[in-house]
């Protein structure tokens, strides 16, 4: 049996989530998921999930309820997991102090298909305020570029082709051609 480890990280999150798929191209079953996670927990003294908690996590990830996690389902982030990762990351970032409620609202905004998980694409998409803040930070380090917040918000609106308030990778790529 060939084991494949999939690692998905967010550009703005320290750390990553890994899911082991049984065989290349196959889905992960609930028993495989629980067994793998329990093995990881043995090596991580700060993480002590119960089999029941892992079963509930599997059920949340299994969006199509077929009893197996597809690659897309396995790579997705659950709301609690994503919020906790963001809060952990914020501890090391003195300029960003989000509340749990703000992050839960952001998760809901990013979850475009409202399935309760963030796909890799949804997780990596940039919200307007994030994008504008990032651009302003870059401008602080570039004496030749001094955009206003209003100019950047207008540019974001122009790049946001589907007007959902989120700049997806394909929309950002279009900026390079403009």
Beta bridge partners of 6: 19
Instruction: Give the total residue count for the chain.
Output: 178
| Section 10-14 average pLDDT | 32
Q: Let me know: does 126 contact 74? Beta carbons within 8 Å.
A: no
Using CA atoms, how far apart are residues 65 and 69, in angstroms rounded to an integer? 9
Query: In the structure, what pLDDT confidence band is assigned to residue 31 with cuts at 50, 70 and 90?
Result: very high
Query: In the structure, what pLDDT confidence band is assigned to residue 7 with cuts at 50, 70 and 90?
Result: very low
Query: How distant, in Å, are the alpha carbons of 35, 47, 51, 54, 139 from that of 42?
Result: 11, 8, 13, 14, 46
Read off the pTM. 0.52
Buried b (16+ CB within 10 A) or exposed e, 99-110: eeeebbebbeeb
Query: In the structure, what pLDDT confidence band is assigned to residue 57 with cuts at 50, 70 and 90?
Result: confident
Beta bridge partners of 29: 68
Q: In 10 A of CB 178, how many CB atoms?
A: 7
Beta bridge partners of 20: 5
Q: Let me know: does 28 contact 37? Beta carbons within 8 Å.
A: no
Tell me which of 76-85, 101-110, 166-175 is least confident.
166-175
Q: What are the pLDDT digits (tens) for 120-161?
A: 777 777 777 778 888 888 888 888 988 998 998 899 889 888
């Amino acid at each position: 049996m060939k084991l494949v480890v999939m690692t998905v990280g967010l550009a703005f999150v320290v750390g990553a989530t890994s899911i082991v798929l049984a065989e290349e191209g196959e889905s992960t079953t609930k028993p495989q998921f629980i067994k793998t996670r329990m093995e990881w927990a043995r090596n991580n003294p700060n993480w002590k999930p119960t089999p029941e908690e892992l079963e509930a996590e599997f059920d949340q990830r299994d969006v199509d309820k077929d009893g197996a996690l597809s690659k897309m389902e396995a790579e997705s982030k659950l709301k609690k997991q994503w919020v906790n990762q963001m809060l952990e990351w914020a501890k090391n970032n003195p300029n960003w102090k989000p509340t749990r409620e703000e992050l839960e609202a952001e998760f809901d905004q990013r979850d475009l298909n409202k399935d309760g998980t963030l796909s890799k694409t949804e997780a990596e998409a940039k919200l307007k305020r994030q994008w504008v803040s990032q651009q302003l930070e870059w401008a602080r380090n570039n004496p030749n570029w001094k955009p206003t917040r209003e100019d950047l918000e207008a540019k974001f609106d122009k790049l946001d082709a589907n007007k959902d308030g989120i700049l997806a990778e394909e929309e950002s790529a279009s900026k390079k051609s403009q």
